[in-house]
Structure 1
Amino acid sequence: MPNSKAVIGYLAELFPNCFTIAGDALPLKIGIFEDLAERLEGDEKVSKTRLRTALRQYTNSWRYLRVVKAGATRVDLDGAEAGLIEAEHESHAQETLDASRAKVQQAQKAKREAQREVQKAQREAQQTKSAAAKAPPKRSARKVDVPQRKPKAEPVVAMKNTVNVDTLSVGQRVGLKIGKNSMVATVSTIDKTEAQVQLDSGMTIKVAISELHEV
């Protein structure tokens, strides 16, 4: 399986009464990983490592955390009742959800600030260009024929496929879009579904891993 999303889709096919790929998720039985490892023993499509990573991502998703409410029924792989959610589990899920939302808001704020910086730089460049165009040409004492050089083309960032969350690493060069501009950055830190990257200008921002592309 190439990524966690594909693994969850595979689990939803095998255990439709337990896993979902859209809408509200179902609270899972405590120890569901051991049940999965036993049922998928020898399955060449998914390793235990990818299974654990995908399960962690699934249970940390907003749509899963929202259904973790005290008294709600947990289900096993076949959809049978497998215990109830306790108050402490609901409290932990709510804290995780609040923290995740705060990180997303912070990343969005940083992205907006980066967009404003880009727009400011573009305005200043345009103003400089306009001022230069209005200025009278300088006269030289002696006319010298100088070969005309073609202006250097700005480098184009080739945006490829989105990065593989399972192989993304610190120090990796990635591409991302800020406004209408494609930029290259270096991964500084990785935190579940988000990463902090540093632009070549030195600015650092947090973005969702799903917005990063290979370059």
Structure 2
Amino acid sequence: MTDVQKLTNNKEVIAYLVEKFPLCFSLEGEAKPLKIGIFQDLAEALQNDERVSKTQLRQALRAYTSNWRYLHGCKTGAERVDLQGNACGILEQEHAEHAAQQLAEAKAKVAAMRAAEKAAQPDKKRPARRVGTKGQKTKETPVNKTKVVRKPKVTLNAIDLATLQKGDRVKVKVSENAKQAIVLEVIKDSARVQLENGLVISVAVEHLFA
């Protein structure tokens, strides 16, 4: 004998009811308001069905009638249906208002839960910019580039060799630079000088400047 596989949760039970009574129950679209006392009809219709118990039927029916689809379909003037989809009376305004209130409360509860979850999550903020002393945002300080300090140009004045004497301070032009020096000896069109670093050289008159 094959063992009967029992249904284990509301979702399975509701799917089973849709399969057994498709004109009464549905899984998609707007659900139809159910006949008052539909549970007794279900219990009698499935009393010998080993797949589902009365307790499961009651729980599944409660879940089905509290679903947003069902509550949305419970409007004043809507037709109630029995297990075979037959009309069983008009939904009264009192019941429609109760369904609308349940729907609003359910939506508000879900919205509150989502807001709480969002508040509990850490905010993903962009890295804060540095703030100045007056609260103003400042730009990142660029890396300072090493500035090349140029030496001021030295004024070079031509020197008269006839007036040049030992001990005079002169400038000796070497390439693009001018170095300080002291005259040690004047020789015809040149002079022997000692540079600041102690080096003694002979320099032609055209390279000597005052």
So what's the TM-score if we normalise by structure 2? 0.55
Return the offset for 1:113. Answer: 0.9
In structure 2, which of residues 115, 121, 146 is the aligned counterpart of residue 115 of structure 1? 121
One-letter code aligned to 1:73: E
2:17 alignment partner AA = L
Moved over 4 A (4+): none
Structure number with the bigger relative contact order (C-alpha 8 A, sep ≥ 6) is 1
Structure 1 gaps of 5+ residues are: 124-215
Equivalent of residue 62 in structure 1, options 60, 68, 71: 68
> Could you tell me how far apart the structure 1 residues matched to 2:19 and 2:108 are?
33
Aligned counterpart in structure 1 of residue 34 of structure 2, from 13, 16, 28: 28
Of all paired residues, the percent bearing the same amino acid is: 53
Q: 1:4-42, CA deviations, whole angstroms, 9 ceiling, x for partnerless residues?
A: 011010000000000001111111000000000000002
Aligned residues: 120
Q: 1:2 Cα deviation (Å)? A: 1.7
Larger Rg: 2
**Two-structure CA RMSD over aligned residues (Å):** 1.4
* Pairing 1:102–2:74 present: no
Q: How is 1:172-211 mapped onto 2 (pairs within 5 angstroms)?
A: none
Please, which of 82, 104, 109 is the counterpart of residue 88 of structure 2? 82
Alpha-carbon deviations, 1:51-98, whole Å to 9, x = none? Answer: 111100100000000010111100000000111100000010011000
Q: Which runs of 5+ in 2 are unaligned?
A: 1-6, 128-210
The secondary structure found in structure 1 opposite 2:88 is: strand
Give the structure-1-normalised TM-score.
0.54
Shift of 1:116: 2.4
More helix as a share of residues: 1
